[in-house]
Structure 1
Amino acid sequence: MTASTRNKHTRRHVLALLSAVAVGAFAGSVPQLAQAQEKHVQEKQVLRIGYQKAASTLVLLKAHGTLEKILATQGIEVKWAEFAAGPQLLEALNVGSVDFGYVGEAPPIIAQAAGADFVYSAYEIPTPEAESILVQKNSPITSVAQLKGKKIAFNKGSDVHWLVISLLKKGGIAYSEFQPIYLAPADARAAFERGAVDAWAIWDPFQTAAIKQLDAKVLASGSGAVSHHQFFLSARKYAAKNSVVVNTVLEEVDKEGRWIRANYKEAALQLAPIQGLEPDVIEAGLRHYAHIYKPIDNKVLDEQQKIADTFYELKLIPKKISTRDAVLFPPKS
């Protein structure tokens, strides 16, 4: 073998080795690259917000898209999920498919008793005129005391559940002395229209819609009976790890609330195609809410505790609970 032949053979051998090393290195990098990509996907943050169509502040926040823009700068995607009412939303929070939501005063009690691990993040100041017990325009019932033995439709476990309990107690009627008909708002309205129930406990904007469209009469509102607080709740683990995100949401919610208070007509026009109601109906309903939000305090937790104790006494929840267990940090006095 000549020197030239030996050199060619050596070069071919070295190139083959280099090629093998390169292929091996590339092959080894494929799973590493896949793992890195998978890790990147896993690390992408998502905030899942549960809302109800009647929750006007959150509905407008979603429609305006400002929260998405702010959180996008932090690499956080916002996903929205609509629910028929508070109890259904809290079920989703309980199973871990929602991180943040807005509900009335009774759903958190039911959810906490069922083991849901959430915390109160903020509350809306009292809005008792935003819910009532309605009767048909030609109903002979003129007082709450006349509801004894009657059929009352309402969404089980919702804030109007507490309204019914409170108003009937004021009217001298025990919880066992009427017929609860558990129906979601749409089904309850249908039953109310055809006279299948004697009364309907409902919140705005559905309350105002029934008054304006069906000539329904307000038998009694929440005024003097309940506070009708609304709450922003967060999954405990999410709130503990993402306090800045939760605070950002609450700041944007507060801005929306202030905008609504300054622009009732415009807010109603924007909500009309979303909520499927006439602007005048929505505007009237909006004016029944405060749209003013506060940090959780001891007073509101005491009011929630009263609901919890009553629900336990009536066997509506299986165990006693302490509402103070549903906060990250004890509120200041």
Structure 2
Amino acid sequence: MEACSAMHALRKTSWFIRLLFLAVGMLSVVALLASCGGRGSPAPTASSTSEGGKNPSTVRIGFQPPYIPVIAMKNQKLLEKTFGDSSPAIEYKEFLSLTPIAEAVSSGALDLAIGGTPVTAIAAGAPIRILALTERSPKTHAILVRPNSPIKSVADLKGKKIATPMGKAYFFPQKVLQSAHIKDSEVKWVQLENDVGRSALLSGSVDAWVTWDPFYASAELNKEAVPLVDGNHYFQNYVVLFGNADFVEAHPDIVTRFIQAYQQALDWVQSHHADAVQLFASENKVSQEVAELTMSRRNYLLAPPDLKEYLNECTEQGKFFLEIGVTKQEPDWKTVIVPQIAKSVLNH
């Protein structure tokens, strides 16, 4: 009887142990699947949310050389300071022209950027949102020719080779040609980045070079080129803060912090002119004279992107590029322009 009882107890104990191992095994499988996220889960990008918080681990910002407030913001770590001890890594990436910036924002390789309005990219469906206006500087753009060039007026551009960083998708030279009743098909467009455009003009392989400061200022002061016309009376040249649509939707708080930090940087630039010129010269490896001339032609501002004048210019550019066949549709500006965040920060 005692032997039977012992055997019964042993069978109960063995059954209990097997059940316990089964439970532990199931929990281990669940934990493993949770930690792996499944075989089909996408790999996190540089802007994926960091552990333990809603901010991305890295914020990537693109800009062009003339934008000295961005350089001040970077050097003084003003954006990082708005986060306190919980700041994500901030990466600043410099580009020579707008096209590669717009491509990087569209693809998600950049989160935020400062540059001209990428009208043609937006018309092509790029997921871009315009968040603030940071500048209106028409005199910083120019059509340059060699000092001894036979081209003396806009009318003389007919039939000539014109180099620009954006080819024919550049509103300023298109507007200039339109003023002289020259069709865009009546000139030869050559798409060259700014560092190549200069040498192309000097070598004579192109007849005119359309560019902006500091490239324009450097060529002018070195007497390598003279301006045929600048942007004044042709376009407003608004510079804007724009961002990847998904990033803006997911992180409006970071856009808010960026605008706050940019305001601080702009205040510093405007109240420390000599220091700002020196900073520009050293960062861009240009002379003090080039830096001074570049900054003298810039009109800084910080405002929501729903100013009537800006909206009118966006609409005009959208229609124009559609008419000449650069784009297949006009941008949906009501979706693209997002003024609410800037209005909130700037109390507009």
TM-score over 0.5 for the pair: yes
- Structure 1: how far apart are the matches of 2:243 and 2:167? 19
Q: 1:269 maps to what in 2? A: 278
For residue 259 of structure 1, the aligned residue among 268, 271, 277 is 268
- Structure 2: how far apart are the matches of 1:198 and 1:176? 16
Any idea what SS the aligned residue of 1:214 has? coil
Q: 1:13 maps to what in 2? A: none
- Structure 1: how far apart are the matches of 2:111 and 2:175? 31
- Structure 2: how far apart are the matches of 1:158 and 1:273? 33
- Structure 2: how far apart are the matches of 1:62 and 1:284? 23
Q: 1:47 maps to what in 2? A: 59
Could you tell me how far 1:189 is from its partner in structure 2? 0.6
Could you tell me how far 1:73 is from its partner in structure 2? 3.2
Q: 1:319 maps to what in 2? A: 329
1:78-122 per-residue CA deviation (whole Å, 9 max, x = no partner) reads 1222223111011011111111001113xx211112211121101
1:128 to 1:329, Cα distance in 2 relative to 1, 3 A: closer
Query: Are positions 1:104 and 2:113 aligned together?
Result: no
Q: 1:296 maps to what in 2? A: 305
Q: Is the 8 A contact 1:152 1:197 kept in 2?
A: yes
Could you tell me how far 1:262 is from its partner in structure 2? 2.5
Could you tell me how far 1:281 is from its partner in structure 2? 0.4
Q: 2:165 maps to what in 1? A: 155
For residue 233 of structure 2, the aligned residue among 224, 227, 232 is 224
Query: Are positions 1:211 and 2:220 aligned together?
Result: yes
Any idea what SS the aligned residue of 2:108 has? coil
Unaligned runs of 5+ in 2: 1-16, 38-43
- Runs of 4+ in structure 1 deviating by more than 3 angstroms, as ranges, are 24-36, 38-44, 72-75, 328-333
1:240 to 1:114, Cα distance in 2 relative to 1, 3 A: same
1:170-224 per-residue CA deviation (whole Å, 9 max, x = no partner) reads 1221111111111010010110111211111111111100101234211101111
Paired residues for 1:1-333 under 5 Å:
31=32, 41=51, 45=56, 46-105=58-117, 108-156=118-166, 161-299=170-308, 300-328=310-338
1:308 to 1:327, Cα distance in 2 relative to 1, 3 A: same
Could you tell me how far 1:166 is from its partner in structure 2? 0.8
- Structure 1: how far apart are the matches of 2:322 and 2:281? 39
Q: Is the 8 A contact 2:145 2:151 kept in 1?
A: yes
Could you tell me how far 1:69 is from its partner in structure 2? 2.8
1:289 to 1:329, Cα distance in 2 relative to 1, 3 A: closer
- Structure 1: how far apart are the matches of 2:84 and 2:126? 29
Could you tell me how far 1:326 is from its partner in structure 2? 0.2
Task: Name the count of aligned residue pairs.
Answer: 314
Q: Is the 8 A contact 2:167 2:191 kept in 1?
A: no
Larger mean CA deviation between 173-182 and 234-243 belongs to 234-243
Larger mean CA deviation between 190-199 and 293-302 belongs to 293-302
Q: 1:9 maps to what in 2? A: none
Larger mean CA deviation between 230-239 and 50-59 belongs to 50-59
Could you tell me how far 1:146 is from its partner in structure 2? 0.9
- Structure 1: how far apart are the matches of 2:190 and 2:84? 44
Amino acid at match of 1:171: A
Any idea what SS the aligned residue of 2:151 has? coil
Amino acid at match of 2:276: A
Any idea what SS the aligned residue of 1:62 has? helix
Could you tell me how far 1:256 is from its partner in structure 2? 1.7
1:111-134 per-residue CA deviation (whole Å, 9 max, x = no partner) reads 112211121101134211111111
Amino acid at match of 1:113: A
1:259-305 per-residue CA deviation (whole Å, 9 max, x = no partner) reads 22232321121122321211220121011111212111151122101
Cα RMSD of the aligned pairs, angstroms, is 3.1
Q: 2:8 maps to what in 1? A: none
Q: Is the 8 A contact 2:133 2:238 kept in 1?
A: yes
